[in-house]
Chains A and B, each alone.
Chain A
Amino acid sequence: MTAKPAAQTAKGRSVARRVWSVVALPLVSILLALIVGAVIILGSELVIPGQAFDPLLPARAYIALLEGAIGLPPALNPLVSTLVATAPLVLGGLSVAFGFKSGLFNIGAQGQFLMGAIGAVAAAIAVSGQPSIVAIPVAVAGGMLAGAIWGFIPGILKALSGAHEVVTTIMLNYVAISLFAWIVAGPLAVPGAPSPITPDVGNAAYPILIGRGGHLGLLVALAAVGIVAWLLYRTTFGFEVRTAGANPDAARYAGMRPRVLIVVTMSICGLLAGLAGAGDVLGTQHHVTSSYGTTVGFDSIAVALLGRSNPVGVLFAALLFGAMRSGASLMQISAGIPAQLVDVLQATILLFLVATPVIQRLFSLRGTKTGIDAPGTFTKTYVSGEPTVG
């Protein structure tokens, strides 16, 4: 009788230890980043003249940030807008994380996101007369296809010639900006509008499910987490992807086809980022202008790194960054702290994650997993002279 609970607590303890070993470094990094952020706030108070020095300003700023992100209980809308800001980060984070799992660094989520957005608008306009039940799937498919094409290009180039995806995806980000601007000002422009703008997506708009602006895209993002997790951990394809990421040589000797894997993986990365772009226009914007700006693509890299390329980790990391993005405006209004502080915090978190060996030593966090769970091989084949696979 006594042995059983003891075994259970032992088991419970080992689970707790496993969880701790995974979350310790991210948590420490977040905490340290908040401290650095507080120091920056205090420092800029000292430097900027014409203000009384307020030693509690960092605390007021963080409380405002939290209040802006979560809101006080009866109010639902702050929480909903956090979720709306989170959804594209989840999809973008999954896009980058999926690449990480197979040893590919997809810096191109930004371009794939833009292509997804414009693809969704184009598809929505093409079926503008149709009811929502037809229009939404078509528009989503248009966005996913456009994103997937933007991921396929660096994939096929890497598979055929060994061109490193870091270089090609960065370049494709800029090509995407130009192509996007041209499509908005040219083929898809509303004739006679004072500045370039596309027509409304009409019936293809995601229905609102909850609160102010809580659209269908929230469920899409949540479903994507499950699907990607299933794909990575429960299918042969996912096993091949992870093997190719962990050890490309072993993958090749085991008879997997790395070239095919690269093309398919990059296309899936693009598809996920494209879905994020489609969600933004179908759920929130409903049309795009030539000044349509986004940082989702770059935030996605941060999300994937903080989430250790794990789908569930990505979900939590995206929630954190989404909450910070959405709470930032209240922080700016009520504490007078520029919303860009969120970018600073985000970068500082990553900085501490990258400097993992140092953090581990400083805080004697032995036995914890290293901060960045990504194969350290991206740079190895940078603009490689030889195709590295197959």
Chain B
Amino acid sequence: MDGLITSLYGIPVAGLVFEFLGYLIGVLPIVAPIMLRVAAPLTLAAMCGVMCERSGVVNIGIEGTMLVAAFVGWVVGVVVAPLIPAEPSAFFGITPALLIAFVAALGSAMLVALLHAWLSISVRADQIISGTIINIAAFGVTGYLNELISKSSPTSAGAFSQFTPPSFLVQIPFIGWIFNMFLNQGPITISVLVIVIVLQVLLFRSRWGLRTRAIGEHPKAAETVGIDVIRVRYRNVILGGMLAGVGGASLSMELTNSFQDGMTAGRGFIGLAAMIIGRWTPLGAFGAALLFASSQAISQSITFATPSGNLGHLLLSIPGQFWDALPYIVTIVVVAGLIGRSTPPAADGLPYEREATA
């Protein structure tokens, strides 16, 4: 076996590829938890995208929705924590203040989503313009309020803490790291996998899913069989906003315990990209989000566990910015159809106008 590996690595150029793959397999157990942590907010953003676009509403305001949720979650925690002092419980470090803040974050995200729903479904404004405005507004309002609040140097309510999986699970040979990847996480990251699977099943196996897909593909036909297109679209956009809110809350309440201006840093847009590459399916989008996250994980692992020899030199000579840009380049390539075409729901982005009833 070792002989085979050495001879594979010995092949010029292609050998480096094999060596790189071997390196990736080697570091996977270490970087996998980081990967999932990075992918979680992207996945939640993508789930919001799936909910909206499957029902025919384009939502590029996900970025702003997440930013608002991140801010509200943080600020409500700051306000509530001194009122309800409590020791963090052993279970994910949950305190009443954190729970209230989390609910407030989801509520604020749903309000932002309601605004987008109203503009794009009822006012029938251009959905891309509506989303763009929501992003600008979210950036401005959170920046303004953050500036005001940070004058009084607020104390954060803390963050959800990570779960420590039992050691017998983690130590199982070969697959132990998978348990570590999914369980050595905060509550939001752990629930991402559940959300993805539930959404995948609901979208393709439930009445709600069938209706959602119907109004995203052919709203008029759906209306004629008695589906209330407007209502289902509203519901989907608002529930999708809630998922984006969970993603936003994870940034300021789980991955960190603070808020910075513009801390979503494009995650809402990468989420959309993951949705496109995942062909508007929850599982596909999750896979794409993991792929995007792996780009960041690789760039980190190269610095803390540099491979030896030529491969190490080669990888170190690749600038870090390349790994940052890789997800976006991949998205452009996929959207341009260079690796398989990704086709959206047929009525995606079209406002629906009910015909006048006689």
Contacts and interface: CB of A to CB of B under 8 A. Distances in A.
Interface of A: 40, 44, 48-50, 105, 107, 157, 160-164, 166-168, 170-172, 174-175, 177-179, 181-182, 185-186, 298, 301-302, 305, 338-348, 350-351, 354-358, 372, 374, 376, 378-380, 382-385
A171 B144 contact: no
B140 A344 contact: yes
Interface in B307-358: 319, 321-322, 324-325, 328-329, 331-332, 335-338, 341-344, 348-350
A343 B60 contact: no
Interface of chain A, helix or strand or loop or mixed?
Answer: helix
Contacts of A348: 137
B11 interface: no
A385 B217 CA distance: 13
A383 B128 CA distance: 12
Interface residues of B, number: 52
Interface stretch (B147-155, B180-188, B203-211): B147-155
Given A44-B145, A345-B140, A355-B125, 5 more contacts: A166-B60, A341-B144, A354-B130, A382-B58, A384-B344
B40 to A, nearest CB: 19
B123 interface: yes
A308 to B, nearest CB: 13
B102 interface: no
A30 to B, nearest CB: 15
B336 A171 contact: no
Contacts of A175: 325, 328-329, 332
A343 B58 contact: no
A174 B270 CA distance: 10
Interface of B: 58, 60, 119, 123-130, 132-133, 135-137, 139-141, 143-145, 147-149, 151-152, 266, 269, 272-273, 276, 319, 321-322, 324-325, 328-329, 331-332, 335-338, 341-344, 348-350
A382 B321 contact: no
Given A174-B266, A372-B129, A347 B137 contact: yes
15 contacts: A48-B148, A48-B149, A167-B273, A171-B273, A182-B322, A298-B136, A343-B139, A343-B141, A347-B133, A347-B141, A354-B123, A354-B133, A376-B126, A379-B126, A380-B349
Contacts of A305: 129
B126 A378 contact: yes
A356 B129 CA distance: 13
B140 A174 contact: no
Contacts of B350: 379-380
Contacts of B144: 40, 44, 338, 340-341, 343-344
A382 B349 contact: yes
A171 to B, nearest CB: 4
Contacts of A179: 321, 325
